[in-house]
Amino acid sequence: MSFFIPPITYGQIAMQLGAGGITPHFTAQKKDYCNQWNNTGIIVNKSYYIRFMAGDVGITFVTGDDSICSKVDGIFLHYILSRSEIVEWGITLGGYEFDMNKWEQHAEDTPTDISAPDPVWTRWGDKTIVPVLALDLGIHLIRHERWSLKLNNIFTPVIWNHSLAWEYRF
């Protein structure tokens, strides 16, 4: 039994260092999010990540804060379906671990006239995780032969995230 592994050529191995995140939350009611802009549901995350790409396949390791400023750590796998000089899009699958106790405490501390946010979550062994399946859209804002400044975006039905990354292609 053999598997087809496409050849990887110059410029298809890349590393990204990313930071930040603007994350709109689409809800019908006012929620008590951390770092929320003007009660809009749009928050500014503190997140940092490193992504490694080999051709159309990649992996990202992320750490940072979630919607209530509680620490998260996660892993995401990426598959690029289409690529041009400026835009690439594909699928992202993964998740991040969070502390459910902090969300429960946040809900207790939230004023009664505001709804406490409630994450979509599941258990994986002894870990509480937010699973993610998203459309992934990368835009090279500035592109040179070996490096780019990129706007990375992931879109799910309930949450979007936008961040900046510096990419270096080997």
Query: For residues 84, 7, 13 and 55, what is the CA-based torsion angle, rounded to 10 degrees?
Result: 40
Q: Given this model, what pLDDT does residue 55 score?
A: 94
Determine the Cα–Cα distance for residues 118 and 66; give it in Å rounded to an integer: 12
* 3 within some domain: no
Determine the Cα–Cα distance for residues 7 and 103; give it in Å rounded to an integer: 45
Measured in degrees and rounded to the nearest 5, phi and psi for residue 66 equal: -100, -160
* 26 within some domain: yes
Domain count, the chain: 1
* 5 within some domain: no
pLDDT tens for the 170 residues of the chain, in order: 555 555 655 568 999 999 988 998 877 777 888 888 887 888 998 999 999 999 999 999 999 999 899 999 999 999 999 999 999 999 999 999 999 999 999 989 988 888 888 888 999 999 999 999 999 999 999 999 999 999 999 999 878 999 999 999 99
Q: What is the CATH number of the domain that holds 150?
A: 2.40.160.20
Which range of residues forms the domain containing residue 60? 13-169
* 98 within some domain: yes
* 6 within some domain: no
Q: Given this model, what pLDDT does residue 41 score?
A: 81
Specify the amino acid at residue 125.
Answer: G
H helices within the chain, ranges in order?
Answer: 100-109
